[in-house]
Structure 1
Amino acid sequence: MLDQHDYTDFLKTFAASMPKPPRAIVLFSAHWESGAQSISTVDKYSTIYDFSGFQDELYQMTYPARGDLAISDEIQQLFEKNGIPSIMNPERGLDHGAWAVLKLMYPDADIPVVALSVNRFLTNEEQYRIGKALSSLREQDILIIGSGGIVHNLRMLNWQGGNTPDEWAVAFDDWIREKLENWDLEALFEYEKSAPYAKEAVPTNEHFIPLLLAMGTGDGNRQAKLLHRSYQLGTLSLSCWEFN
Structure 2
Amino acid sequence: MMPSFFFAHGAPSLVLEEHAYTDLLKQFAAKLPQPKAIVIFSAHWEEQVQTVSSVDRYSTIYDFGGFQDELYRMTYPAPGDRPLSEQIQSLFANHGISSRLDEERGLDHGAWAVLKLIYPDADIPVVALSVNRDLTNAQQYEIGKALSELREQDVLIIGSGGTVHNLRSVNWRAQGVDEWAGAFDQWLQSKLTAWDTEALFQYEELAPYARMAVPTSEHFVPLLIAMGSGDANRQAQLLHRSYQYGNLSLSCWQFN
Residues in 2 aligned to 1:167 and 1:158: alpha-carbon distance in whole angstroms: 13
CA deviation after TM superposition for structure 1 residue 165, in Å? 1.3
Q: Which residue of 1 aligns with 2:186?
A: 174
* Residue among 45, 49, 61 paired with 1:36: 49
Residues in 2 aligned to 1:148 and 1:230: alpha-carbon distance in whole angstroms: 14
CA deviation after TM superposition for structure 1 residue 158, in Å? 1.7
Q: Which residue of 2 aligns with 1:189?
A: 201
CA deviation after TM superposition for structure 1 residue 211, in Å? 0.2
Q: Which residue of 1 aligns with 2:240?
A: 228
Residues in 1 aligned to 2:99 and 2:245: alpha-carbon distance in whole angstroms: 37
* Residue among 57, 63, 75 paired with 2:88: 75
Residues in 2 aligned to 1:110 and 1:165: alpha-carbon distance in whole angstroms: 37
CA deviation after TM superposition for structure 1 residue 159, in Å? 2.1
Q: TM-score, length-normalised on structure 1? A: 0.98
SS at match of 2:158: strand
Any unmatched runs of 5+ in structure 2? Answer: 1-14
Matched, 1:210 2:222: yes
* Residue among 121, 124, 134 paired with 2:147: 134
Residues in 1 aligned to 2:187 and 2:25: alpha-carbon distance in whole angstroms: 24
Any unmatched runs of 5+ in structure 1? Answer: none
Residues in 2 aligned to 1:89 and 1:138: alpha-carbon distance in whole angstroms: 23
CA deviation after TM superposition for structure 1 residue 160, in Å? 2.3
* Residue among 106, 123, 131 paired with 2:119: 106
Residues in 2 aligned to 1:123 and 1:220: alpha-carbon distance in whole angstroms: 21
Residues in 2 aligned to 1:145 and 1:126: alpha-carbon distance in whole angstroms: 17
| Count of matched residue pairs | 242
Q: TM-score, length-normalised on structure 2? A: 0.94
SS at match of 2:115: helix
Residues in 2 aligned to 1:210 and 1:53: alpha-carbon distance in whole angstroms: 26
Residues in 1 aligned to 2:214 and 2:158: alpha-carbon distance in whole angstroms: 20
**Residue identity opposite 1:27 in structure 2:** I
CA deviation after TM superposition for structure 1 residue 13, in Å? 1.1
Bigger RCO (CA 8 Å, 6+ sep): 2
CA deviation after TM superposition for structure 1 residue 141, in Å? 0.5
**Residue identity opposite 2:220 in structure 1:** F
Q: Which residue of 1 aligns with 2:130?
A: 117
SS at match of 1:29: strand
Residues in 1 aligned to 2:173 and 2:86: alpha-carbon distance in whole angstroms: 48
Residues in 2 aligned to 1:27 and 1:100: alpha-carbon distance in whole angstroms: 12
